[in-house]
Amino acid sequence: MSDGRFIAIDWGTTNRRAWLIERGQVLAAHRDDRGVRAMASADYPAAIAELRARFGDIRVLAAGMVGSSRGWREAPYVPCPAGAAELAAQLLEVERDVWIVPGVSHLGEGRADVMRGEEVQLIGAVAAGLAPHDGLLVQPGTHSKWAWMQGGRIARFATAMTGELFDLLRRHSILAEMMRETPDPDSDAFALGVARGAAGESLLHALFDVRAGTLLGLRDASAGASLASGLLIGAEIAAHRADMAGGVHLLAEGPLAAAYARAIALSVATAHVVDSEAAFVAGISMIEEMRR
């Protein structure tokens, strides 16, 4: 059925990215907004058929929220430490030569954690030589992941709900009217927020200052989003500051990469930005190679 080519899908909550890959090289790509949130369980076979019509009737490997309880079918979680071999061994076939990559779980330090989709980028960043085999990798986002790699495998990780909290504050809180602007990572307000968040100031109190400081004329309302963003990212960094001495590799692009890179720099650490798409392609290619 396959000549060595396969279709890789990064199937998230709101978006879907697909690539036609052969020997680790991207031959074609497609992106749309048909994320899991826009799909019913009965929609997936037709969606796969459309991609095969575009790229060829070949094997499909899908990662991300497609394998969650909200997706097509729930795939297992592979416990840490986890690498490409462990993920390949637990692939879930959901229909003819269509496989879902499992997620990764971590139990330790008195808490539980899970990820879906990020694991492919993490192992791929190392496999492609974009990040060290042993080091700290960070994936900013709705649910940011801080992952400690050992020997190219995910040894442990921690999730921060930074992006989701920012969105909730911006849409549904008393701070909403002060958070209408797009956060500016180059602004003084962002830098102030990072400094206060990273210093361990009470986040709950500091966030209310976004409103109070504006009402009392200490800052313009247009600075609210930047200050809040800085506070949240600074608090996220504070939790892992002791592990940042060797630098941080950021799997991000665009505004998120800029915001986290500056926040990490302000925290006196070095941020190395990694191409997240290249990392995903390398990771999914490695899993496909080990599957065969």
Calpha distance 273→258 (Å, rounded) = 9
* pLDDT band for position 269 (cuts 50, 70, 90): confident
Q: Decide if pLDDT at 252 tops 80.
A: yes
Per-residue confidence (pLDDT) for residue 1, from 0 to 100: 41
Sequence-ordered list of residues with C-beta below 8 angstroms from that of 18, at least 6 positions apart, any chain: 7, 8, 9, 10, 29, 30, 31, 51, 55
Give the model's confidence band at 179: pLDDT under 50 very low, under 70 low, under 90 confident, else very high.
Answer: very high
- pLDDT above 80: residue 2: no
Q: Is the model's pLDDT at 49 over the cut of 80?
A: yes
Over 80: is that where the pLDDT of 153 sits? Answer: yes
Q: Cβ distance 11 to 36 under 8 Å?
A: yes
CA dist., res. 248 & res. 237, Å (int) = 11
Neighbour-count burial for 242-280, b at 16+ CB within 10 Å, e otherwise: eebeeebbbbbeeebbbbbbbbbebbebebebbbbbbbb
The more confident residue out of 267 and 228 is: 228
Indicate if the pLDDT at residue 69 is higher than 70: yes
Cα 197 from Cα 144, distance rounded (Å): 16
Provide the pLDDT for residue 292. Answer: 67
Alpha-helical runs (H) found in the chain: 44-55, 84-89, 118-127, 162-172, 188-198, 203-215, 224-238, 254-266, 276-291
Q: What is the pTM of this model?
A: 0.93
All domains in the chain, ordered by first residue: 5-131 (3.30.420.300), 160-274 (3.30.420.310)
